[in-house]
Structure 1
Amino acid sequence: MISLDSFYLAYYLLHIPITVFIDSTIVVPPDSQLSISKSILEFHIAQNSDFLLVEKPLWFTLFGWVELVFQLPLFVYFSYKIARNHTHDGLYLVLSVVYGFNAAFTTFVCIGYALIQGESYGLTSSQTLQLAAIYVPYLLIPGLILIDSGSRLVGLVSQKEKSE
């Protein structure tokens, strides 16, 4: 059976190109985007009617900046720590809790907005649900990371208290 840390490693390694090639388009001007990014974005928008990536409301753009500036470096850091089997390190756990909360919360906002506003952007109920479903893994996996890392952090603190 695959360990949670191995699952997280795969998630972080997969999320690096997703962030670089897709999510970066939220904040990188179209004339500065890689051609592969533009192609992937056009395909995603056509397939999933993702009006968020077309309209880019201010709050969504701010979430994009947080992902590029905060989360992308963390994906590299987390991958390194997992590869070195340092997943019970205090800093790793604190940053994992912060990442998990931030990513789950921002994705929750995106899903809620898509469900509430989908129809006003011309999406059918089916298209709206499909769009929301695309975002669900980015709610559930960070939520799992938040809970798991929080639990590990509490255990680490308890261990420290017992040893003192």
Structure 2
Amino acid sequence: MNGRDKFYVAYFVMHLVISVVMDSGAVIPEQYQFGLQRQLNQFHIEQNNDLLMAAPPTWLKSFLWIELVFQVPFFVIGAIGLCKGCKKTYPLILVYCVEAAVTTFGCLAEVSFMDALTTSEKINLAAMYMPMVLIPVVMGIDFYRRILSWIPGKEKTQ
């Protein structure tokens, strides 16, 4: 496994934990959450004034359900696939990259234009959201190029 793939596996594992512990708290009813999960979410909201997570709009809840239903199982499949060198997971990784970059960019854009946040709070939240946009974009380009290499070039016509 190359260095990039090791990074991607670490990213998938880290994001799996964030998805299950933090992000799910915005859509799972409080009575079904673990105490630590509620505490971490409350801490994050208070420390960072993350208004999106404090009162998630319907569009964000739909993105978070996609994260729980698609991304959480994907993180396991993607990490195992990369560890085993299974190229059959590459198209799924590319789908994840597009989905994650687009949905997280939507959150980043929303936060950037919130009048209720100070410039400092916007910068702080952008610093948290931006890696979750940039890493999937870079990974998506990487996997697009890998998949593209499977397609034979045009044959020369005579």
Matches within 5 A, 1:124-163: 124-158=118-152
Deviation, structure 1 residue 85: 2.0
Q: Which runs of 4+ in 1 moved over 3 A?
A: none
Matches within 5 A, 1:45-124: 45-86=45-86, 89=87, 91-117=88-114, 119=115, 122-124=116-118
Deviation, structure 1 residue 144: 1.1
Deviation, structure 1 residue 82: 1.4
Deviation, structure 1 residue 157: 2.3
Equivalents in 1 of 2:75, 2:123: separation in Å?
A: 28
Equivalents in 2 of 1:39, 1:158: separation in Å?
A: 53
Q: Which has the higher helix share?
A: 1
Which structure 2 residue ranges, 5 or more long, are not aligned? none
Identity of aligned residues (%): 36
Which structure 1 residue ranges, 5 or more long, are not aligned? none
Equivalents in 1 of 2:38, 2:65: separation in Å?
A: 18
Partner amino acid, structure 2, of 1:77: I
Partner amino acid, structure 1, of 2:134: L
Equivalents in 1 of 2:113, 2:54: separation in Å?
A: 17
Task: State how many pairs are aligned.
Answer: 154
Partner amino acid, structure 2, of 1:125: T
